[in-house]
Structure 1
Amino acid sequence: MKMTDIPFGTTDWASIERTEHKGESGMAYWRTRNFGAIRVRMVEYTPGYLADHWCSKGHVLFCLEGELETELEDGRKFLLKPGMSYQVADGAEPHRSFTALGATLFVMD
């Protein structure tokens, strides 16, 4: 990831408009900022959220609260708890998210 033409700034995430994204079950609420080709999000998943698709987009994801289970298309599963992160490249290892308890994440892609 090459980051260029981004002046220093701060983000008050509570002031960023929240958008709704329905899962196969549950909801995801995104607060999104874009910096050129880089998207930065604060994402809240409701308890019982299950993604409605397999994602092939690359991300760097950091779990702030709750627990997030990430399933890879090949069947492997990984559990993130607060303070844990994962990273995956574009087009590598399709994945989807599930949370029984709910989760808050910081995501860059």
Structure 2
Amino acid sequence: MELSKNYKIVFDEMDWIEVGDGMRFKRIQQGDMQVRLVEWDKAMVHPNWCLKGHIGYITEGDVEIDIAGKVYRYGVGDVFILPDGEEHKHRPKVLSEKVRFFAVEKIS
């Protein structure tokens, strides 16, 4: 989906993209960037490390993110900034029934 003419993102008018395994999202792309509304539930298991960078703002729920072997907890109102690369490899674990957050990312 592209940005609307009034520069407003209305996630309520967008369909969820079901990824499976307890993860879904809504996305808008602009140039080499994207903004996503992401939702994970308890069924989401992320066995592999993610090397892609993300900036996220938690709007609902609690999550632990293992970043290169050190675990950090994030909840409503928290922002995380994860740079690209092996030294910032990360994987989440949902602590509440679900976690919802906005993510800003480069499209690779």
**TM-score after normalising by structure 2:** 0.83
3-state SS in 2 of match to 1:14: helix
Within the alignment, does 1:15 sit opposite 2:13 as a pair? yes
Q: 1:80 aligns with which of 74, 81, 86?
A: 74
3-state SS in 2 of match to 1:83: coil
| Matched residue, 1:65 | 60
Gaps of 5+ in 2: none
CA 1:93–1:100 in structure 2 vs 1: closer, same or farther (change >3 Å)?
same
Identical amino acids, percent of aligned pairs: 21
Alignment: residue pair count: 100
RMSD: 1.8
Gaps of 5+ in 1: 1-6
| Matched residue, 1:42 | 37
Amino acid at match of 1:87: I
Deviations 1:3-37 (A, max 9, x none): xxxx75111102112111234xxx11110100110
| Matched residue, 1:53 | 48
